Structure 1
């Protein structure tokens, strides 16, 4: 089969690789009908995630048609159409029972290696390095789905792939980030969102779904800012304004009640001279850059919430921990507990409350286009906000 593979830092290729096979009785094999490039895949491309190996198959936003099931998998049948969460969870360990699906204690075969970095093993992830299990990803014609009787959701035939594909990651990720802000219609909260990429866009709309009164979105890419405005947000271009000063002006000195940092480890930008010097220094090191996180911590009102769906992997440049502590902020983080949100968010899509396909800018039926589209997405060229592949040629 064809698949997109990681070769080395900065190099993604489309290769012919062996078809997946059933390895466990709870597995399923799907024919991938749609898959996407996630912003966190760019961290792999740019070499920020350790333990990637030449030939690793990429991708963790995937859905498809079941073509084979293991003998112990009684939940799925051949022909079922499923969306696959990017987190691989067993459903039986204490973390899964607590609803912390992304902290599953059993699904990462390299958990001992991950524990050296994080203290404990966490859930296995599709296509996201060997420290998260070394599982083949879904930017391919076929995918093996471990624990397929636990994770995936069967989707109804009346909903096309584009409406449900992002249940695999970015829609639940944005929704969880918004939910962490403790939004209710009665609270009339103002939320500031750093980063208007796909997760930021989902977070913006999720804030409004939950009842936020006002959302202020911060980015520098014109098409992303325009998309945020189309979703109801007020927008700020961080290149043109001092963000902290402007937020204070926009909120009559009160500040946002909660902030969402949807940028992650490759953030750019700074307001002060010292931040600009730090940006230049960190850009030349392997340390991850917390500029968006620091702006979010500074911008949040005292006693507020910092919600952090942006991905980080290891060492981080200086974080404004003093501001976080002295302002009494609550920091909420974590990979997304996707399985928790699948059914509720599917119902929101079914009811027409949201159509997540609004974020798609580029579609292709050929995985051969993948390397070029990775570069366009990373470099923000050709108004590229989200790429979807249809490996078997059924793009709509």
Structure 2
């Protein structure tokens, strides 16, 4: 059971001297208790211990993994790199000290583990294993070395439309999968989106860019059309229906995705004031002025239509993740870049080069024979070289970059980061 450990004990003395014992120690509710059981043979005892450990997920972390270097520190946990003993595959393990977490935090942790055990998608962080002792919880996950999306976007210029497509297509895929499985994330923001691979900070996104949704502590399994009422999340990314306390559904995640895309394309949050109360008022009542905004006027109208569809204050009129994937702008971008990739792979690039005034090299028989071309031809007739070069990707057009990527000030921590909802509001719904 959760919160218990099983240990083989040495051969008994006295009346039980012919038996082999094992002890089960429990710590449920902060009360420590233990009980010893006996088996007739050492082999039988060891078999019982292994079965109980497997059923209670009390296997030892060190029996399957090798500790490596520390790679991160959280509020109540440390993260280490580790390797699987059987094949050397690298993972990350989060080590949590139980005494350092509150009941509320423990509940959030259990929720995250439960949901990650249910899901499997290329754009969602993968849970590998969970181990638990009386003092620690070990969560083994896939190793993601790129850090948070937040750190990648701060300090760089606004995204061009191609970069926006790379990010949005993966976010929409991940959310569409979660919502189809009945999972609402409820805290989608750049800090909770991880990059699979290391990238140079401020570098442009390309086709190798891969994201993973993470931090499912506030997530919830819901029935179709279920209404949730507990407000939670991070204020600047929270949907108006969450703040109005009238109830909300999976549509709240789409609003958060819209805020993220607004941020990377515009360079600032759509609703961002000094005071928390002002942000809430803006989210609830203010309309975004797309046409009057100089930056948005330089972005394609179809993309503006998509982002405004995600930021519709009426959740019933807000785009779903499936609708985002089928939006005309998404289809156009997919077709355009699929065509570019096909051309780059299959179509040779022919270069015809004219080279003037290159004299013919002397022939081995030049003393006995004159050149068939003659001196005049060698000096004045252009030589045409036809060269085929395959697998060269098409470079981005400067015109398209100007149309789809308005240059501007880099994103800063102030316009990307937002306050979390007050602590009392961040509780899992019962």
Check whether TM > 0.5: no
TM-score (norm 2): 0.26
Q: Give TM-score scaled by structure 1 length.
A: 0.28
- Give the number of the structure whose alpha-carbon radius of gyration is greater: 2
